[in-house]
Amino acid sequence: MSVSIRRLREDDASVISTAFSRLGWSKPITQYQAYYRQQEEGSATVLVAEVDGQFAGYLKIEWKPEYPPFAEQSIPEIQDLNVLPEFRRRGVASALMDHAEKTVARVSPEVGIGVGLHPGYNVAQRMYVRRGYVPDGRGVTWGGEFITEYQPVVADDDLVLHLTKRLTGAR
């Protein structure tokens, strides 16, 4: 098995959207067209993983994230890491993360990432900790807003803990 990582191309939008729609996931082609535009404008970099020439997954590096603590400290954020189920547990996510961290290290000594807190993110939570990511110490957000103690929230994809990692070999 050979994993290769490259930047998103304009013609990837339909391939990626189709691959995820086969799983019943709502990832419209317009999402990847927007990612491509953001990459062309320089506000994001989107990395695509292929296994033996077949699309396997992707992630996005947001150079100017919306999460206020990252924005204030100019910490790029890795977002939207997705690997197709048939390629999981084969090193694809790790290859994407390795490449993303090396890309960010060229311009920043630190990288951030947000991870959901419901059980659907269990594998990601463990992977990020093993890779050296630690909570940023700001608490948890829900719907982009910091929650307060005893505030009721829904454990959905919007319940997020943000993590950071110091990068070696940065700048």
User: What is the pLDDT tens value at each position of the chain, 171 positions in all?
Assistant: 789 999 999 999 999 999 998 888 888 899 999 999 999 999 999 999 999 999 999 999 999 999 999 999 999 999 999 999 999 988 899 999 999 999 999 999 999 999 999 999 999 999 999 999 999 999 999 999 999 999 999 999 999 999 999 998 655
Determine the longest span between alpha carbons in the chain, in angstroms.
Answer: 49
Q: What is the 3-state secondary structure (H, E, C) of 38-86?
A: HHHHCCEEEEEEEECCEEEEEEEEECCCCCHHHHHHCCCEEEEEEECHH
SS3 category, 161: strand
Return the DSSP state at 8. -
Per-residue model confidence (pLDDT) at position 90: 84
Per-residue model confidence (pLDDT) at position 110: 97
- Identify the structural domains of the chain with CATH numbers, from first to last: 3-166 (3.40.630.30)
The encoded tokens of residue 129 equal 């900790």
Task: Please state the pTM of the whole predicted model.
Answer: 0.93
Per-residue model confidence (pLDDT) at position 170: 54
- Inter-residue contact 65 to 44 (CB < 8 Å): no
Residue type at 11? D
- Inter-residue contact 45 to 107 (CB < 8 Å): no
